[in-house]
Structure 1
Amino acid sequence: MAQEQRPPNPDPGPETALMAADSPDSAPPPSGAHTTDPGRQGPGGTTTAPERTRDEIDPAPFPIVGIGASAGGLDAFRRLLQRLPVDAGLAYVLIQHLAPSHDSLLAALLAEATAMPVFEARDGQPIEPDHVYVIPPNRTLGVHHRRLVFFERELESGRHLPVDYFLKSLADDLGPQAIGVILSGTASDGTLGLKAIKAAGGLTFAQDTNTAEYYGMPGSAIAAGCVDFVLPPAAIAKELAQIAAHPYLRPTPQEVSEGLNVVEDDLAKIFLLLRSRTGHDFSLYKRPAILRRIRRRLVVHKLERPADYIHLLQARPAEIDRLFEDLLISVTAFFREPEAFDTLREQVFPRLFDERRAGRRVRIWVPGCATGEEAYSLAIATQEFLGERAAGIGLQIFASDIDGKAIAKARAGQFDESIAAQVSPERLRCFFVKSAGGYRVTKSIRDLCVFAVQDLIKDPPFSRLDLISCRNLLIYFSAPLQKRALQIFHYALEPNAFLLLGASESIGAQADLFALLDRQHRTYVKKSHVSRVDYSFMPKIYQGPDEGATASSDAAAHIAREQPDLARTADRLLLAHYAPPGVIVSRDLEILYFHGETGPHMDPAPGAATLNLIKLAHQDLAVELRTGLHKALRTGQEVYRPGVRYRRDGVLAETNLRVLPIRTGEEIDHLMVLFEDAGLVTDAHPATDAEARMANDTQRVVDLERELAVTREQLQAIIAELEGTNEARQAASEEIQSANEELQSANEELETAKEELQSTNEELATVNDELESRNRDLAEANSDLNNLMASVNLPILILAQDMRIRQFTPQAGKLLNLIGGDLGRPISNIQANILVPELETRVAAVIEDMAPQVLDLQDNAGRWYSVRLRPYKTLDNRIDGVVIAFIDVDGIKETERLRQTLALERRLATVVRDANDAIMVQGFDGRILAWNPAAERLFGYSESQAIESGIEPLVPAAAWPAYRALLARLARGESVEPQRLERRHADGRILRVLLTASTLLDEHGRPYAAATTERVLGGK
């Protein structure tokens, strides 16, 4: 289980309910060391507080403000402390994310911002009002009995969450007197802590967007809906100063013992306003939690009288919604109380998923599911238990709550990063997908859960269930509501199905409905054979006008049923006059039915009322009765005890006891005890005193022998009774069926059928609601996908594992010659404008290795594309194909080619400029287009002169015919061997040169000029 945390961190229960734990859990013993000695100076000269005894500290309760921050927190701390009054009577503990290996100067820096004493916290240090305490480095800080407690720094699933831990311990220790403040910081540390404080009845603050340097921590808390005030630091300080003296935060001893002084009339008005606005009645919820929530809203609005708050509720209906949300704070966690899940895995799941249930869907209900963590935890636990069998076993988890906002969050299945402290890394990897800002449950887990808005008490329940997990919800119900809820659970469960309650809950007086399976983890089994259960929780069916036609027939049937049954009347008269009085008892000797006048044989003992026959019977008959009853149970035969004497109204009388076993099958379910009156014992008046004494002695011996025999039988019966177990007796008593139940069986079956129909309708409505929600989500997702695919100016193709087309963008349709009807066709059937070599092999490799592939290809028109193949991942993190994106890189390729051409031209220009040979470019008509410095140096003409005059001055008259023939050959694109020619220098000299010529082509491949290189061989 992913719940091992140190230091221990008590988590709230998985329900939307009235949250406010009245008894704080004890924190673990201190394990950290003192960072400074008493009276010594801390960093920056800040004096640490000397140790004081509890008697020296003001015993009056005062609020403690826990302030958490991370990045950007120093400036926010300063601005908050600068505006706090020094005598508000509040204590402040600052929790900052600090480097574990460096000394902190935070206390010294903050001491400059306030006149209050600022200390670096010490282990075991008592907290005093109007003092500021700063967390030291490399420590986790908690509160126990208003003293600071240190722990070594520990990482929860790789994350250090000091703010969450301190605020949770503060909520557990102070309850309504805890105040939480979250300032600038990254990530989400502090959100769970504020939830705990609000659940305990405390107040919560967060820094607003405009003033927070980093909005991660306050933004996460605000998004979670657990913040009362969103203000800048200076305004938070002002608000703290105003509420510091409110009676709610400083209750008198009388208020602590009696609670809020709210008269019942005021509560009735508030309940009425709530019911009119929300449709939910809170009048039968436990008073302390209700009062705590109402009083908390008084503090938020700075009111002191409930009457003023009632006026506010009437004037602002939105405040009724705020109160309703406060009454239904969603506080939950994944895998809370992991030992309970161990019990499910070891004792419940094997019986839920055994072979006898093969082919039948297992149905689980989580009432009061809040934001869904409990339901998802059960889904994960079942999948872990089933392993490879999970795919072949049907499972449906219904989760309901009256908080619509909580249900909406549960349906989304999106949770923030703080769940990493509750869920093991292995479970996060297997059952969650990392998403923006947190984690989302996989599709396979989400599909197992159906969420619905439902009032557990008012709405029809689900039916034919195998397991109900209702943990820490009943503790907020009054006794009548608890009884009603347990009756609902009994009705909804299948025979021998299971009920899981919270650690602080039990079935109480409803032990006749459920048998205990695991006492420590509150696991129960439904008793299938019980006396009639009151299912009045089911709504009554409205009788419409059209049903009046059957009224006369129904009335006639009723009159017929009322006619006297002569046979039964005769039997009743005969039994009353001639049958001996008696009783029918269960196997536990509880009287179920009295027949005749049993009063003379009964002598109830003083004390608590009881129907136990042995305790009700005359004490002189108790021994014989006990012996006879146990003998009848043991042997299954009739037991007859004649002449049992007892004193009746001071006179000795005799009765014959007869015990008759009653069987409904092979087992003895009931016993009938008959008292056959034998009359009074009279004296025979012996003739002499000696005869009288002898007769008395003889009778005394007979009585003693008889009493001894009875005592022996009783001893044997007691021994036999002790050999049985209480569980066996309880199990036997559960099988008793009364005669009234048999007479009413037809009516009960009809009522049960109606109730099952209503439950089925409720379940169908819930499933329809869930399907509508999913259809809306699917339609939105399809709309988003279609708009995204249409807007992305990029050819994208999605292929399934079998190489069939799943989806493509319009640009991909143009590039690959695809139309809408090609969806579902193999890609091999498509004649695309661009072919990916070995496509099937590449797709298989991407799916197998989950490694993307990239290659550059040209389409039929010669355009270049960068083709990228990536794995296609489903919501539950499975690889189910590939996504192929075609990115047009033709422009990039052309730019690269031009860049290479320019680079080549630059290199050629450098070669031409620095060459020792004359290099020139000339047209076929004799024009000179280019002239390098070597040509200028060898032939004596500057570049401008050469370009202006052309080639003619360089060629002697005798050499012109041969040179023109050479240019003609080059113009035709012929290859010309190096030739020896003559050139005329600018000074008239004739130079012999070796000429190498080549033809230059334009972009269409046609010759347009000749490039020549001429090396001077000598002169004439």
Structure 2
Amino acid sequence: MPSQPDDPAGAPEAGSAGAADPQPCCIVGIGASAGGLEALQRFFDAVPGDSDLAYVVVQHLSPVHKSLMVDLLSKHTDMEVVQATDGVRVERNTVYLLPPGKHLTIENGALRLTTKDAGSGMSLPIDIFLMALANDQGPLAMGVILSGTGSDGTRGVLAIKSAGGFTAAQEPETAQFDGMPRSAIATGQVDLVLPPQDLPAKLIELARKVLAKARPTPPARPRDGAADPLAQIVAAIRSVTGVDFTHYKLATLLRRIERRMHAAGIDSMDEYAALLRRSSAEAVSLYKEMLIGVTRFFRDEAAFKALADKAVPALLANRSPTDMLRVWVCGCATGEEAYSIAILFAEAQERLGRSFDVKIFATDIDQDSIETASLGEYPRSIAEDVSQDRLARFFTQRGETYVVSRDIRRMVVFAVHNIMRDPPFTKIDLVSCRNLLIYMDQPLQRKVLSLFQYALRQSGFLFLGTSETLGDLQPEFHTLDGRNKLFQSLRTGSYRLSRLLVPTVAAPLARHGDEGSNAAMEEGAAIDEAIAALLKAYVPPALLVNEQFNIMHVFGDASSLLKVPAGDATLSVLKLLPSSVAMVTGTALNRAFRSGEEFTLSSIPVKDREGVSTISLRVKPVVARKTGRRFALVVLDSANAPLLLPESDFDLNADAAERIRGLEQELVSRGENLQATIEELETANEELQATNEELLASNEELQSTNEELQSVNEELYSVNTEYQAKVEELTEITNDLDNLLRSTEIGTIFLDSDFVIRRFTPAAAGFINIIPRDVGRSISHLSTNIDYPSFLDDIRGVFDSHLPIERHVRVRDGRWILTRILPYLTDKNQVSGVVVTFVDVTATKEAEQTLQSVLDSLPEHIAVIDRDGRIVTVNAAWRSFGTLNGAPALERCGVGTNYLGACDVTEGVEGEEIARAAHDGLTRILRGEMSSFTIEYPCHSATEHRWFLMHAVRLNDPQGGVVVSHIDITNRKLMENRLATARTGSGAAAEPADAASLVEEAP
């Protein structure tokens, strides 16, 4: 709770993710709400694919809408983007997204999902995850707050900071909605504020330093403390801020110093100490780093319940309404604990039906925290800690904040107070100091606890944090609740003054484990006892006073002179001393501070119960060596005590001028009181507006509804942003498609399952008489310009069979088109319509006709067969020869028939040998084993003898195929036969026995 350094023992070094992974990685929790999509896209555009970080994105999502974030973010990063699932372990270079309707936490490096309670009111998923991340990962946790409304993420930032992690926020000027970034920045616990695109580089740089360098091991302390960089750092903070961290735990100091070293880009503590000596701003930044106000309303609910049940009723029992009940909250940070205790007393008074004068003194070392606490304004996120009933009774909603009610606010007085240096309050009924002692070493703990014991009335209560103990003061307190650290003082008016004299000036920082530490503690205790005995025996009552005339310390028993006046608590020596002594003391202090000389006054009258007596007054100026601050030691003694300096009888006329100065100072004090009175009048003026409270109360339910609507609006805004991004993508795709359809010369018509036109390209109008107004009409209602009688039947056939159909169709103007009818498939591979395309193939058709004319003009019988051996093209000579040989020849060797089959004759058939030779030759050409072959064969008819030369050559085409030609060589063969006859003298040439067998086998 106090604004003090984080607990070194309270934060894990790393989650068990790091234990499972030999090289643990930092996990970046990113919170975003309204306007967060653009910020996330700019953020991940700047993240390299090998950043070695893991990213978890938490948004305000609607539980009833599907999130599109996986698709939208995947386009902006090379890393894998997945939706988080329960139990998945977080891995580096991966982005995890919160699913809709879920809350996300992390345990032992694994993500955990819980169902979002629809009736839980305001949802804070970012706080929930960041707090879990801080608890699980400790210093390896990083929190980033991007665009969004409200204050979600603020408590998560504080938790990560408390655990030693790193926090960052989007620069509010660059956010579409700056509510969340400004709320986080207002805590003072954000390390980095930059535009989204500049954040990844800093995060990666810091993460590498954190992982590459373990917690720094302090160097061995030399005997000369001035050479120790850690001592120099502490001295630099003390010289700039006046706060001494010498007696704070070493691990706490090192942790916070290391963070600032990383932020400043410095690896050596010597260099950092030199930087602090040069830069007061860096010293202030380190001081702020030490003071982390981690607190919230009713923190540790069980502890506050024990306080409400056991201490508060006991304090109010048998107490007069006019008797002020005094509470001291030490280390109040931003005031949540003080207001929580005030609420407990307010509730107790309501139960008793009585009103008491309760004054709560809330103090802290940090001026900024005190100013925040004095405002009494807190973000909407406190609804997670404060019940709806308490919110309605003790708070007023003002925009995005809750304001503490005036009745509670009047009970609390806030003040800056350094428990290590400033004197304690007195006559306190309840001291609350939670989670402050854990940051101090044992001597300082003993001093602070002794101060609390001195401040408490007899039977007063002490309320500590759950990790704090009383140490050797345990016998002097009665334990009311050991688990919740609630104690009751047993002292009877005496206290060990020696405990209050533990030095708090700069001293060598104690190293944990130093030998002789126990012996030193025992010697210190003996010295304490000796100092107490000397003070009691020889030292008269004395007051240590600063330049503002406030009492810093009391030596000896000055209770007979010091009286606590009614009203606000004060430490002014002029108000605590009797009026006759105060008048002289004011004059004497003015002279002492002005001249710096010691002097005495005697014969000062004092009225007491026994009458009028006289005392002597001795004033000795004191100057602190380290800081140069001036003090005065005021010694009050009876008139017969020996004076070491020459006496100065008190003479009013002689000291008139000094008295005037005192009166002037009193006038200044009166002016301050007047200002306080004015403030009270302003408060009274505010009370005149209380007549509106009934109306405000009637609006509370409406305000609650507005809160829920605001939360829903944020969720819907996120959904709308995702949909808008998706619509923009679809619009671009549609524009691309429209331009493609307009620019292409392919006519296309899209039909639905009822053959109604859904879309068409301009080129389709050349084949179907269609205009833009025909979209939505059935295609059967339109006329066509193509010679395609079975057009509609083919469309129905494709829709029923799901098989495409291709037709070469002639247009009425003489052109040829290739018409393709294909099924329209959805993303689920279902047929929901038909797509008809028209491709102008007139040029191709004319080229085919030209080629056919060329082939027809040749006398050879020519056929083209494909890679499977089917005949695809023949010329006129081939067809004429087949016609002359009758129907069997056309059936076996016409277009579409397999020519290899025609050559594959059965055994024993005439001409078998030549046919098989042709079959084998064609097969080898199709296989690529040879490029061509030639064979001569006889083909006689009933009326004449004929011979042919068959020539086959492979087509130089990727599809393969063979060109087969049959050339009539009858004349050549007859000439050869005549020549042979003439040579041999015979009347006829020999002929093959199977010459007639090939007539039916091949043309």
AA paired with 2:557? Answer: A
SS of 1:753's partner is coil
What is the aligned counterpart of 2:557 among 745, 753, 776? Answer: 753
What is the aligned counterpart of 2:325 among 352, 362, 380? Answer: 362
Instruction: Tell me by how many angstroms 1:88 deviates.
Output: 2.0
- Write the distance in 2 (CA, Å) between the matches of 1:243 and 1:55: 17
- Write the distance in 2 (CA, Å) between the matches of 1:851 and 1:81: 45
What is the aligned counterpart of 1:176 among 114, 119, 139? Answer: 139
Tell me: CA distance 1:503–1:330, structure 2 relative to 1, closer, same or farther (3 Å): same
Instruction: Tell me by how many angstroms 1:87 deviates.
Output: 1.5
Q: Provide Cα deviations, 1:934-986, integer angstroms capped at 9, x if missing partner.
A: xxxxxxxxxxxxxxxxxxxxxxxxxxxxxxxxxxxxxxxxxxxxxxxxxxxxx
AA paired with 1:482? Answer: Q
Tell me: CA distance 1:21–1:56, structure 2 relative to 1, closer, same or farther (3 Å): closer
Q: Provide Cα deviations, 1:724-779, integer angstroms capped at 9, x if missing partner.
A: xxxxxxxxxxxxx99x9899599799845348988969941599999999976986
Instruction: Tell me by how many angstroms 1:352 deviates.
Output: 0.7
Tell me: CA distance 1:784–1:847, structure 2 relative to 1, closer, same or farther (3 Å): closer
What is the aligned counterpart of 2:4 among 4, 11, 17? Answer: 17
| Superposed CA RMSD | 4.1
* Ranges in structure 2 where 5+ consecutive residues have no aligned partner: 504-517, 520-528, 543-554, 576-665, 700-1003
- Write the distance in 2 (CA, Å) between the matches of 1:218 and 1:521: 36
Preserved CA contact (<8 Å) 2:230 2:273: no
What is the aligned counterpart of 1:449 among 412, 415, 432? Answer: 412
Preserved CA contact (<8 Å) 2:14 2:139: no
Instruction: Tell me by how many angstroms 1:266 deviates.
Output: 0.9
What is the aligned counterpart of 1:371 among 334, 358, 369? Answer: 334
SS of 1:148's partner is strand
What is the aligned counterpart of 1:279 among 233, 242, 260? Answer: 242
SS of 1:332's partner is coil
What is the aligned counterpart of 2:78 among 107, 115, 136? Answer: 115
AA paired with 2:394? Answer: F
- Write the distance in 1 (CA, Å) between the matches of 2:693 and 2:136: 54
Tell me: CA distance 1:251–1:23, structure 2 relative to 1, closer, same or farther (3 Å): farther
What is the aligned counterpart of 1:245 among 208, 225, 240? Answer: 208
Q: Provide Cα deviations, 1:758-804, integer angstroms capped at 9, x if missing partner.
A: 89699415999999999769869999999xx9xxxxxxxx9999xxx
SS of 1:335's partner is coil
What is the aligned counterpart of 1:66 among 10, 14, 29? Answer: 29
Q: Provide Cα deviations, 1:305-325, integer angstroms capped at 9, x if missing partner.
A: 112222222222111111111
Give the TM-score, by structure 2 length: 0.51
SS of 2:474's partner is coil
Instruction: Tell me by how many angstroms 1:238 deviates.
Output: 2.0
Tell me: CA distance 1:23–1:287, structure 2 relative to 1, closer, same or farther (3 Å): same
What is the aligned counterpart of 1:230 among 189, 193, 200? Answer: 193
Instruction: Tell me by how many angstroms 1:441 deviates.
Output: 0.9
Tell me: CA distance 1:322–1:758, structure 2 relative to 1, closer, same or farther (3 Å): farther
Aligned ranges for residues 141-220 of structure 1 at < 5 Å? 141-154=104-117, 158-220=121-183
- Write the distance in 1 (CA, Å) between the matches of 2:166 and 2:557: 49
Q: Provide Cα deviations, 1:831-879, integer angstroms capped at 9, x if missing partner.
A: xxxxxxxxxxxxxxx9898599xxxxxxxxxxxxxxxxx99xxxxxxxx
Aligned ranges for residues 48-59 of structure 1 at < 5 Å? 58-59=21-22
Partner of 1:137: 100
- Write the distance in 2 (CA, Å) between the matches of 1:479 and 1:431: 39
AA paired with 1:225? Answer: G
- Write the distance in 2 (CA, Å) between the matches of 1:536 and 1:55: 44
AA paired with 2:378? Answer: F
- Write the distance in 2 (CA, Å) between the matches of 1:773 and 1:155: 53
Partner of 2:570: 764
Aligned ranges for residues 539-938 of structure 1 at < 5 Å? 751=555, 753-754=557-558, 763-765=569-571, 850=695
- Write the distance in 2 (CA, Å) between the matches of 1:517 and 1:386: 22
- Write the distance in 1 (CA, Å) between the matches of 2:11 and 2:384: 22
Preserved CA contact (<8 Å) 1:493 1:526: yes
Partner of 1:266: 229
Identity %: 38
- Write the distance in 1 (CA, Å) between the matches of 2:359 and 2:419: 19
- Write the distance in 1 (CA, Å) between the matches of 2:533 and 2:570: 31
Give the TM-score, by structure 1 length: 0.51
Tell me: CA distance 1:194–1:752, structure 2 relative to 1, closer, same or farther (3 Å): same
* Ranges in structure 1 where 5+ consecutive residues have no aligned partner: 1-13, 29-52, 541-607, 610-736, 790-797, 802-845, 853-869, 872-1020
- Write the distance in 1 (CA, Å) between the matches of 2:537 and 2:310: 34
Instruction: Tell me by how many angstroms 1:359 deviates.
Output: 3.8
Preserved CA contact (<8 Å) 1:397 1:450: yes
Tell me: CA distance 1:155–1:204, structure 2 relative to 1, closer, same or farther (3 Å): farther
- Write the distance in 2 (CA, Å) between the matches of 1:367 and 1:413: 17
Partner of 2:53: 90
Partner of 2:440: 477
- Write the distance in 2 (CA, Å) between the matches of 1:483 and 1:56: 38
- Write the distance in 2 (CA, Å) between the matches of 1:340 and 1:268: 37
Instruction: Tell me by how many angstroms 1:279 deviates.
Output: 0.8
Q: Provide Cα deviations, 1:403-433, integer angstroms capped at 9, x if missing partner.
A: 0010111111111111111111111111111
Instruction: Tell me by how many angstroms 1:209 deviates.
Output: 2.4
- Write the distance in 1 (CA, Å) between the matches of 2:166 and 2:241: 24
Preserved CA contact (<8 Å) 1:205 1:227: yes
Tell me: CA distance 1:25–1:198, structure 2 relative to 1, closer, same or farther (3 Å): closer
Preserved CA contact (<8 Å) 2:106 2:112: yes
Partner of 1:994: none
Q: Provide Cα deviations, 1:458-512, integer angstroms capped at 9, x if missing partner.
A: 1000000111011111111111111011110111101111101111111022223
Number of positions where the alignment pairs a residue of Structure 1 with one of Structure 2:
564
- Write the distance in 2 (CA, Å) between the matches of 1:102 and 1:320: 50
- Write the distance in 1 (CA, Å) between the matches of 2:72 and 2:409: 49
- Write the distance in 2 (CA, Å) between the matches of 1:371 and 1:54: 34
Q: Provide Cα deviations, 1:605-624, integer angstroms capped at 9, x if missing partner.
A: xxx99xxxxxxxxxxxxxxx
Tell me: CA distance 1:396–1:746, structure 2 relative to 1, closer, same or farther (3 Å): farther
Preserved CA contact (<8 Å) 2:14 2:140: no
AA paired with 1:753? Answer: D
- Write the distance in 1 (CA, Å) between the matches of 2:114 and 2:57: 16
Instruction: Tell me by how many angstroms 1:128 deviates.
Output: 1.2
Partner of 2:304: 341
SS of 1:269's partner is helix
Partner of 1:498: 461
What is the aligned counterpart of 1:395 among 338, 349, 358? Answer: 358
- Write the distance in 2 (CA, Å) between the matches of 1:742 and 1:55: 58
- Write the distance in 2 (CA, Å) between the matches of 1:418 and 1:524: 32
Instruction: Tell me by how many angstroms 1:249 deviates.
Output: 3.9
Tell me: CA distance 1:283–1:758, structure 2 relative to 1, closer, same or farther (3 Å): farther
AA paired with 2:94? Answer: H
- Write the distance in 1 (CA, Å) between the matches of 2:398 and 2:696: 21
Partner of 2:900: none
SS of 2:152's partner is coil
**Bigger Cα Rg:** 2
- Write the distance in 2 (CA, Å) between the matches of 1:260 and 1:743: 40
Tell me: CA distance 1:331–1:446, structure 2 relative to 1, closer, same or farther (3 Å): same
Preserved CA contact (<8 Å) 1:531 1:741: no
Partner of 2:370: 407
AA paired with 2:570? Answer: L
Preserved CA contact (<8 Å) 1:487 1:535: no
